Amino acid sequence: MTNLDVLKKQGLEEKEARIYLSLLKFGEAGVTLISDDTRIERTLCYSIINKLIDKGLVSYIVENNVKYFMAASPESLMKDLEEKKKELEEVMPDLISLSKNRVRKAKAEIYQGKEGIKFILKDIIKQGKDYLVFGEEGQFQKMLPIESEQFMVKIEEAGIKEKVLVKEGKKVVKSKNSRFKYVPKKYFSPSTTVVYANKVAIIVWSEPSIIILIENKEISDSYRSYFYLLWRMKFSEFLKSNKLNKSKKKRKK
């Protein structure tokens, strides 16, 4: 990287940097010499030099009614950067606080059919984080039997864990990294929801299936909270009662 490139990275325009380097080389010089050396038109040179004076990078002396310009020492550039860094460090806590409080826009995408389901399964593996499932009824295995088996092997290998709310009476494939809880039918909708990373995938099992993928931390966190609300509920007694009622009805018949 050249000296010119470095100065441009520090916020100087190209012609400002060329004039500053020219003045460093000469020590002090009149505008004609600077113009000849940098090949910048004389009038424009004056304008740029005045900008550098305002920035504290150039000073001048007058001899016999002629101005001779001098570049500030390169150390002054370092001092200026240190002052800017200090100012930034002082306001950094406020900037971080503003960033955290900002509500980020949600990104939404729509997929269809088997390829859409495959994308969600691959994306869960790619994100590499534990995930949650509402409303599992075995649809994944029914639609993609081979891919579902492969997916279970991959989450075991990656150490990804799943928690799944399963509709009562349904049998689904699980891995050693799976934890299931059976939930009464009345708590289920026709769709399945998968929460992973900062994403929520809502799958409508129509023909073809439709997947709405939302990417937003606030939304995914709210779905997680709702999931764990259901997860902590005591459904076991309710399910036992249902089984008893069903067996009684069979006996009466």
The pLDDT tens digits for 57-87 are: 888 888 888 889 998 888 777 777 677 778 7
Determine the pLDDT at residue 98: 67
Q: What is the CA radius of gyration of the chain?
A: 34
Nearest to 193 by CA among 147, 230, 159: 230
Location of structure tokens 């940097």:
17
Which residue spans of the chain are classified as CATH 3.30.870.10? 107-235
Class of residue 92 by CB neighbours under 10 A (exposed 0-12, middle 13-18, buried 19+)? exposed
State the CATH class of domain 3-73.
mainly alpha
Edge-to-edge order in the sheet of strand 199-204: 107-112, 210-215, 199-204, 191-196, 131-136, 162-167, 178-183
CATH value of 107-235 in 3.30.870.10, 3.40.50.300, 1.10.760.10, 3.40.50.1370: 3.30.870.10
pLDDT tens digits, 81-95: 677 778 778 888 877
Q: In angstroms, rounded to a whole number, what is the distance separating the alpha carbons of residues 21 and 93?
A: 37
pLDDT-derived band of residue 120, with 50, 70 and 90 as boundaries?
Answer: very high
Rounded to 10°, the helix 14-26/31-38 angle is: 120
d(CA 151, CA 132): 15
